[in-house]
Copies of this chain bind each other. A is one copy, B any other.
Amino acid sequence: METQPDWKDVLSAARTLDGVAHRTPVLTSRALDQRSAATVFLKCENFQRTGSFKFRGALHAVHALAPERRRQGVITHSSGNFAQALALAARLEETTATVVMPKDSTPAKIRASQAYGARVVLCEPVQTSRVETTEQEKKKTGATFVDSHDDPRIIAGQGTALLELVDEIRSGEDPAEDGSMDPLDVILAPVGGGGLLAGTAIAAKHLCPSSRIIGCEPAAADDAFQSLQQGRRIVDFVPRTIADGLRTPLGKLNFAVIQRLVHEIITVSESEIVDAMQWAWERLKIVIEPSSAVALAPLLAEDSRFKGSRIGVILSGGNVDLDPFFALLRADLHRGLSQDLRPL
Instruction: Give A residues with C-beta under 8 Å from B.
Output: 25, 27, 30, 44, 46-47, 49, 51, 78-80, 102, 125-127, 238-240, 242, 244, 247-249, 270-271, 274, 277-278, 281-282, 284-288, 318, 322, 324-326, 328-330, 332-333, 336-337, 340-344
Quick check: A343 and B247 within 8 Å, CB to CB? yes
Quick check: A344 and B79 within 8 Å, CB to CB? yes
- Besides the known contacts A271-B330, A285-B318, A286-B286, 11 further A-B residue pairs in the complex with CB atoms under 8 A apart: A102-B342, A125-B342, A127-B343, A127-B344, A238-B343, A274-B329, A274-B333, A278-B322, A285-B288, A287-B287, A325-B328
Which of B49, B270, B329, B344 sits near A30, CB closer than 8 Å? B49
Q: For the complex, what is the distance from the CA of A229 to the CA of B312, rounded to whole Å?
A: 53
Which of B30, B239, B247, B274 sits near A326, CB closer than 8 Å? B274
16 chain-A/chain-B pairs, Cβ below 8 angstroms: A25-B25, A27-B47, A47-B284, A78-B344, A125-B342, A127-B344, A244-B340, A274-B326, A278-B326, A281-B287, A281-B322, A282-B287, A285-B286, A285-B287, A286-B286, A325-B325
Count identical subunits in the complex. 2
Quick check: B285 and A51 within 8 Å, CB to CB? yes
Quick check: A242 and B278 within 8 Å, CB to CB? no
Q: Provide the residues of chain B in CB contact with A78, threshold 8 Å.
A: 344
Q: For the complex, what is the distance from the CA of A275 to the CA of B97, rounded to whole Å?
A: 30
Quick check: A247 and B344 within 8 Å, CB to CB? yes
Q: Provide the residues of chain B in CB contact with A328, threshold 8 Å.
A: 324-325, 328
Q: For the complex, what is the distance from the CA of A271 to the CA of B318, rounded to whole Å?
A: 24
Closest B residue, CB atoms, query A332: B242
A282-B322, A343-B238 as given contacts; A330 in contact with B274, CB under 8 Å: yes
Shortest distance in angstroms between A20's beta carbon and chain B's nearest beta carbon? Answer: 11
Quick check: A324 and B326 within 8 Å, CB to CB? no
Q: Provide the residues of chain B in CB contact with A49, threshold 8 Å.
A: 30
Q: Provide the residues of chain B in CB contact with A285, threshold 8 Å.
A: 44, 46-47, 51, 286-288, 318
Quick check: B242 and A329 within 8 Å, CB to CB? yes
A326-B274, A343-B127 as given contacts; A337 in contact with B282, CB under 8 Å: no
Q: For the complex, what is the distance from the CA of A175 to the CA of B333, rounded to whole Å?
A: 46
Shortest distance in angstroms between A279's beta carbon and chain B's nearest beta carbon? Answer: 10
Closest B residue, CB atoms, query A330: B274
Q: Provide the residues of chain B in CB contact with A332, threshold 8 Å.
A: 242
Closest B residue, CB atoms, query A336: B240
Q: Provide the residues of chain B in CB contact with A249, threshold 8 Å.
A: 343
Q: For the complex, what is the distance from the CA of A80 to the CA of B344, rounded to whole Å?
A: 9
Which of B239, B288, B341, B344 sits near A343, CB closer than 8 Å? B239
Q: Provide the residues of chain B in CB contact with A125, threshold 8 Å.
A: 342
Q: For the complex, what is the distance from the CA of A287 to the CA of B320, rounded to whole Å?
A: 13
